Amino acid sequence: MRTHHRTPYGPGSSAPRPTVFPLDGRRGVRAAGEVGPATRTVREGVLERAVREGDGVYCPEPSDVTVVDVAGAGALVAAAGRLGAGRRFVVHRPPPALQRVLPAFRPDLPTTGVSMS
């Protein structure tokens, strides 16, 4: 099933509108825009679905995300911590700030990897 979520940033705001698209060829989503308080509902829904469904590797790709707040990074790590045996997230092409902060949350978390390709 192909889903596309578009969430307004806020009333009257000209800030980027966050979007989430399914990836072609692998399980996961490509996110664009900002990951912050205004996108909490979408972020939580996408991560919960990733934890609940499927097996193996799930690929969040935040390559077009312009801002990731601490809660967004923490939510990704918390979701990875809820994955069942044999499951993992591989974050493809994270923005530099997210790439730096992920290991700080849980450096020993074997269910999270980062790929620059």
Quote the pLDDT of residue 101: 84
- Average pLDDT score over residue span 31-60: 90
Which of 38, 57, 60 lies closest to 47 in space, CA to CA? Answer: 60
DSSP 71: H
Which of 23, 19, 45, 47 lies closest to 33 in space, CA to CA? Answer: 19
pLDDT tens digits along 86-96 = 899 999 999 98
Quote the pLDDT of residue 112: 76
